[in-house]
Amino acid sequence: MTLHSPKARRPTIYDVAKQAGVSPSLVSLVLQNPARVSDKRREAVQAAISDLGYRPSRAATTLASSRTKSIGLVIDDYRNLWFVDLLRGMESALTEHGYQVMLADSRPGENRIQEAADGLLAMHVDGLVIAAEPSASMLAGAGVPTVVAGWRDGVPAGADLITNDDDGGGGMAASHLLGLGHIRIGHLSGSGGAAAHRRAGFLSRLRESGAELRIAGESGGTSEEDGYASTCWLLDHYPDTTAIFAANDTMALGALGAIKARGLAVPADISVIGYDNSTLAKSRYLELTSVDNRSDLVGVDVAKALLARIRDAAVGPQRKLIEPALVVRGTTARPAF
Where do the domains of the chain lie? 13-64, 68-164+295-322, 166-294
Stretch 75-101: mean pLDDT, rounded? 88
Least-confidence region, from 74-78, 189-193, 230-234, 289-293? 74-78
Residue 147 has pLDDT above 70, yes or no: yes
Mean pLDDT calculated for residue range 234-251: 97
Predicted confidence at residue 5, as pLDDT, reads 44
Give the pLDDT band of residue 321 (cuts 50, 70, 90): very high
Tell me the whole-structure pTM to 2 decimals: 0.78
CB 226 within 8 A of CB 113: no
Q: Looking at the domain covering 68-164+295-322, what would its CATH class be?
A: alpha beta
Q: How far apart are CA 141 and CA 145, in angstroms?
A: 11
Cβ within 8 Å of residue 62, ≥6 positions away:
68, 69, 124
Q: Are strands 70-75 and 100-105 parallel, antiparallel or unpaired?
A: parallel
Q: Is residue 258's pLDDT more than 80?
A: yes
- Which CATH number does 166-294 carry? 3.40.50.2300
Q: Which residues pair with residue 89 across a beta bridge?
A: none
How many alpha carbons lie under 13 Å from residue 99 in its C-beta half-sphere?
23
Share of the chain above pLDDT 70, in %: 91
pLDDT at 223: 92
* Average pLDDT for 134-144: 64
Give me the sheet containing 70-75, strands edge to edge: 100-105, 70-75, 127-131, 146-149, 160-164, 319-322
The 10 Å CB-count burial string (b at 16+, else e) for 289-312 is bbbbbbbbbbbbbbbbbbbebbee
Beta strand extents in 165-262 (DSSP E only): 184-188, 212-216, 243-246
Q: Is 272 helix (H, G, I), strand (E, B) or coil?
A: strand
Chain center to CA of 297: 10
**H or E stretch including 169?**
helix 166-180
Q: In whole angstroms, what is the distance from residue 58 CA to residue 64 CA?
A: 10
Residue 235's φ and ψ, nearest 5 degrees, are -75, -25
Q: What architecture (CATH level 2) is domain 13-64?
A: Orthogonal Bundle (1.10)
pLDDT band at 137 (very low <50, low <70, confident <90, very high): low
**Per-residue pLDDT tens over the stretch 29-74:** 888 777 788 888 889 999 999 898 888 765 555 545 567 889 999 9
Query: Could you report how far apart the first and last alpha carbons of the chain are, in Å?
Result: 79
Give the pLDDT of residue 61.
54
pLDDT of 285 reads 93
- The amino acid occupying position 209 is S
Q: What is the mean pLDDT of residues 271-296?
A: 95
Q: What is the pLDDT of residues 170-228, one digit of tens each?
A: 999 999 999 999 999 999 999 888 999 999 999 999 999 988 889 999 999 999 999 99
* Mean pLDDT within 297-307: 94
Say whether 166-294 and 68-164+295-322 share the same fold.
yes
Count of Cβ atoms closer than 10 Å to residue 245 Cβ: 31
Q: Inform me whether the pLDDT recorded for 7 exceeds 60.
A: no
* Mean confidence (pLDDT) of the chain: 88
